[in-house]
Amino acid sequence: MSRVLIIESSARQQDSFSRQLTLQFISQWQAAHPADQITVRDVARNPVPHLDANLLGGWMKPEDQRSEAEHAALQRSNELTDQLLAADVLVMAAPMYNFAIPSTLKAWLDHVLRAGVTFKYTETGPQGLLTGKKAYVLTARGGLYAGSTTDHQEPYLRQVMAFIGIHDVTFIHAEGMNLGGDFQEKGLNQARSLISEIA
């Protein structure tokens, strides 16, 4: 049995293309892997606070020196990090907002990229500690960005995943969602076809 962690981040609900891809992924993954455990964390509906002094204090201060707010921030980070550590497969559903990822997804990443937990510093530089995991990134984009210099979404997420030791990352892009007509249909069909192949 594998544990699958899905992170939803679209601010849109019923009309969200990335959420449509997630629903398909879950349906087909469950059909192919009925024993697997799937957990969905929706950081748009239940946002994680952005990185602040309380979280930094919770990470860096000894337990007896933490304030209540710092302790609460650390507990929240521990919960999110433990959930990621327990997962065998990570799925991030991310619409492209302003050429990059939603701030809600960035906030989640800021809670789980933790020195000594998901990566460590060595004499030769940082080393990721989450080796052996597989990640899928389902994106929805208004225009056509794959392979262009205006795509700050895929390069950033690839770097972040590699930083914590996840090198097996597959991106599935639904592009042209705001271009209408054939562009939208083609983009969705391509993404759905790829999900069918991997799930």
Can you list the domains of the chain with their CATH numbers?
3-198 (3.40.50.360)
Burial class of residue 14 in the structure, from the number of CB atoms within 10 Å of its CB (0-12 exposed, 13-18 middle, 19+ buried): exposed
* Predicted local distance difference test score (pLDDT) of residue 67: 97
For residue 178, say whether it is annotated as part of any ligand binding site: no
For residue 161, say whether it is annotated as part of any ligand binding site: no
Contact 194, 172 (CB under 8 A): yes
- Helix H or strand E segment including 26: helix 17-32
For residue 99, say whether it is annotated as part of any ligand binding site: yes
118-144 pLDDT, tens digit each:
999 999 999 999 999 999 999 999 999
For residue 156, say whether it is annotated as part of any ligand binding site: no
Residue 98 has pLDDT above 80, yes or no: yes
For residue 60, say whether it is annotated as part of any ligand binding site: no
* Predicted local distance difference test score (pLDDT) of residue 14: 84
For residue 171, say whether it is annotated as part of any ligand binding site: no
Q: How many residues does the chain have?
A: 199
Residue 60 has pLDDT above 80, yes or no: yes
β-strand partners of 39? 5
139-186 pLDDT, tens digit each:
999 999 999 999 999 999 999 999 999 999 999 999 999 997 799 999
Contact 105, 9 (CB under 8 A): yes
